[in-house]
Amino acid sequence: MFERYTEKARRVIFFARYEASQFGSPYIESEHLLLGLLREDKALTNRFLRSHASVESIRKQIEENTVIRERVSTSVDLPLSNECKRILDYAAEEAESLGHKHIGTEHLLLGLLREKECFAAAILGERGVKIEQARDEIIRVTEEKAAGEDRPKGPPRPRFARLLHRFLEMDEDEIEKLEARLREWEAEEKEKKTEEILTEMGAEKLPAGGPPRIDLYKIQSTTPLKTKLLRGLWHCFQPPFFKHTPRMLSPVRIFLLRLFGAKVGPACHIGAGVKVWVPWNLKMGERSSIGFDSEIYNFAPVEIGDHVVVSQRAYLCTSTHDHTHPHFPLVSSPIGVGSQAWIAAGVFIAPGVTVGEGAVIGACSVVTRSMPSWTVCAGNPCKPIKPREVKPAK
């Protein structure tokens, strides 16, 4: 169904499913698709929603107008609502009418706007996003991009050239004044941001000149009791069958993971010493492997495709803490690893990262942003190095 979808568009569907599960919805609705779009393609949404406040207000509006039920396990493959199916059909029609071979995030946005009666279209309409204007803007950007690829690179634009010339003519005193003013602006912005956070979160302040107070006594767990008990039961089973068992007992480890809600495809391998924190948040395709002593810290979903190798002592971490919040809450985002990818030994993958199909992540790399498909990547921070070329089998 999603063969023509770009990698970004597929991640929108992935995030929409995650949002639906967090609201306890039995279906993926238009508002979940919109939240997925906001999360994945910020450049697109910011083009039509001019401020960060608009993006945040959309999430708040959806939360206020949604009956939030008990969270659905992210291992459940939630279906699309009929409304969402029509939106995806509209997106395909928009791509075809624009002469595009792929279906991208821009077509999903047009699909949302065409389903005029849905909640997401109403939200966008309230913020002045109209389908005709959106379609014209997408056509304009596409044409400019195509023209830019065909046009040979010329000299810098006049405005930039004037600015560069003026900067080069500055003497040392003028440069020092400019640096001092930039530092002042940076300090003012930091102070303003800190005050906004303290006002929003209700944090106490120390006497003038002191830093904000971090109060961990006020932390309240939002995890349901049922989930806590299930996790406790899982941690009773995991140590004896995972840490202290030989390699050949991978089928036993897979059986236990499936018993606790993990979706593990056929012919997979789970090495000894692997630690999975939340099994029902793990999904693996067929013939994939997780090497010994790897850790899957998955308070948000981790989805691993087909024929993937996660080598020994890798760490896939879906959660971090909001260090700007006075109560230091846990913040989680899903991780995706595309089919035929290789995560080499000792790699750390940060929350919200997607490793593209066929990508190779070099040993001991620290991956803090998504990596492109069929690319060899490495380093701290991890960066693309060269295309991955697969030679024909002899």
In angstroms, the CA 8 to CA 42 distance is 11
Dump pLDDT digits (tens) for 322-374: 888 777 888 899 999 999 999 999 999 999 999 999 999 999 999 999 999 99
Q: Which residue has the tokens 């913040």?
A: 331
Can you say how many angstroms the Cα of residue 100 is from the centroid of all Cα atoms in its chain? 25
The arithmetic mean of pLDDT across residues 23-38, rounded, is 90
Q: Which residue has the tokens 């003013």?
A: 181
Dump pLDDT digits (tens) for 41-51: 777 777 777 65
pLDDT, residue 205, reads 47
pLDDT, residue 155, reads 53
In angstroms, the CA 16 to CA 41 distance is 13
pLDDT, residue 317, reads 97
pLDDT > 80? residue 139: yes
The arithmetic mean of pLDDT across residues 18-37, rounded, is 90
The arithmetic mean of pLDDT across residues 272-277, rounded, is 93
CB 25, CB 75: distance < 8 Å: no
In angstroms, the CA 57 to CA 30 distance is 17
Report the range out of 172-176, 195-199, 217-221, 370-374 with the highest average pLDDT: 370-374
In angstroms, the CA 385 to CA 306 distance is 24
Dump pLDDT digits (tens) for 204-244: 444 445 555 666 665 666 677 777 888 888 988 788 878 77
Range in 188-197, 254-263, 292-301, 312-321 with the lowest mean pLDDT: 188-197
Class of CATH domain 225-387: mainly beta
Dump pLDDT digits (tens) for 99-126: 888 999 999 999 999 998 899 899 988 8
The arithmetic mean of pLDDT across residues 128-132, rounded, is 87
300 pLDDT band, cuts 50/70/90, is: very high
Which residues sit opposite 383 in a β-bridge? Answer: 378
CB 204, CB 210: distance < 8 Å: no
φ and ψ of 313, to 5 deg: 60, 20
Mean pLDDT (the chain, rounded): 84
pLDDT, residue 48, reads 77
In angstroms, the CA 160 to CA 125 distance is 36
Nearest to 203 by CA among 213, 216, 193, 211: 213
pLDDT, residue 58, reads 87
Range in 92-101, 133-142, 156-165, 204-213 with the lowest mean pLDDT: 204-213
The arithmetic mean of pLDDT across residues 171-175, rounded, is 69
DSSP 212: B
Residues 357-360: contacts with CB under 8 Å, at least 24 apart: 357/7, 357/305, 358/388, 358/390, 359/388, 360/388
Dump pLDDT digits (tens) for 237-269: 788 878 777 888 999 999 999 999 999 999 999
CB 79, CB 21: distance < 8 Å: no
pTM above 0.75, yes or no: no
Yes or no: is domain 7-149 CATH 1.10.3720.10? no
pLDDT, residue 156, reads 47
For 36, the 3-state DSSP assignment is helix
CB 117, CB 20: distance < 8 Å: no
Q: Which residue has the tokens 């023509």?
A: 4
